[in-house]
Structure 1
Amino acid sequence: MTQQPVQSPQFFLTAPSPCPYLEGQFERKVFTHLVGDKAPEMNDLLTQGGFRRSQNIAYRPACETCRACVSVRILAQEFEPNKTMRRVLKQNADLIGTAHGAEPSSEQYSLFRSYLDARHKKGGMSDMTVLDYAMMVEDTHVGTQVIEYRRRGPDSFITGKGEGELLAVALTDMMSDGLSMVYSFYNPALTDRSLGTFMILDHIQRAVAAGLPHVYLGYWVNGSRKMAYKVRFKPQEHLGPQGWARFE
């Protein structure tokens, strides 16, 4: 019998459960734990292979009868915003995102709670407590940042920080080849600002500034209206049986 090195990850398979995106389908996931000194390197490899991170777990779909979930990453260095996206950037030119360590706050949770109650009241995260939220942010062994978006203040050009009310938050992993948007949320009352789109555009700009090629958006689910927005950010690549392929 061949023995695996201690550092080799162990993978597990979940039992089937109803799919949250496609009615009548059942999902299964293969997952492993991201812990220890090798966690950042492993997170890079697994994300490039189609996995997503949730706390200290990396997972990907392993459904028996469906292949609708497709990993998506934006080609940041080639990206050019369209007319609608340029308008979103202009509408939010008064905002600035400040990167912090993976530290939760009561202000973040209050915004998170408002977002869930307005946009995902029946979703799988709807009953998350403040402790659950803290674990979502803190339970990471990789390079994770919390990016807080606030309005620009008179001293922002000096401090690089916004001021006043917290309007949006992105939980983001810093990878060797890009930024992975783990989760984001925003003030649901500010629909005219299109803050979800703005945060993706801001991450593209951050990747370009850092010389990184990709922004990972997780899964696009073909046939799910909830996920349709992800294919608007082109050019991008989709992960298929033959590897990453350009999608325009």
Structure 2
Amino acid sequence: MRMTPTDLSDVNGHTYTYLLNGVTPAGNWTGLFRPGEKVLLRFVNGSAMTYFDVRIPGLKMTVVAADGMPVHPVSVDEFRIAVAETYDVIVEPSGQDAFTIFCQDNARTGYVRGTLAVRQGLEAEVPPHDPRPLLTMEDMGHGGMGGTHVGGMEGGCGMGKPKGMEGGCGANMSGGGMDHAAMGHGGQGAAAKGDDRLIDMRAMAMSPKLDDPGIGLRNNGRKVLTYSDLRSTFDDPDGREPGRE
């Protein structure tokens, strides 16, 4: 298993240059505002497979719509936008002539930026990348494994070799008569109990994540939008209670 704890994005800034409205970071796309006015910004992630973390240092953003659906206003410092998602936010620039729109990818390999300014040609300070996040076993649905990151697995078997495996990854792996079903491992590679669909693998420790800001955004000192913050402004037109999760 050759996997690093920073394996977050295959399409990233090491290879590609990110664009904002077709403009590179050096090109500095600029949107104009008049001090004190409310400005509606619509963010659309048009990438193929890259997530971005968006903030405007010095400005609060009020989220008013998600994927075209109006929501109760939520004031945040930052939000993560996935592929093809759309967020409408309102900002009220004042107190300075320029603000940076900063969008860093979730793997912290690159960014794109633009500027809100009172006139063309201005720019504000561009913040540095946040620290590069490390995946933990819990992030991959294996919370019962102590929450440690997957470092040390790059070389092959990783995590040390049990007795009888000294000869390599494939040596003597019969298990010595262990009852894997009794250990909770029987659901992998076979039909799950009570389910007639074949499932190759399932997470060992599933849990709700709607209130989780996401990898690299937890406890960063900023108010980050979560899916649990989003409440539609209208009642559910269906009206039925959910029958299952």
Give the TM-score of the pair, scaled to structure 1. 0.24
More strand by share: 1
Give the TM-score of the pair, scaled to structure 2. 0.24
More helix by share: 1
Bigger Cα Rg: 2
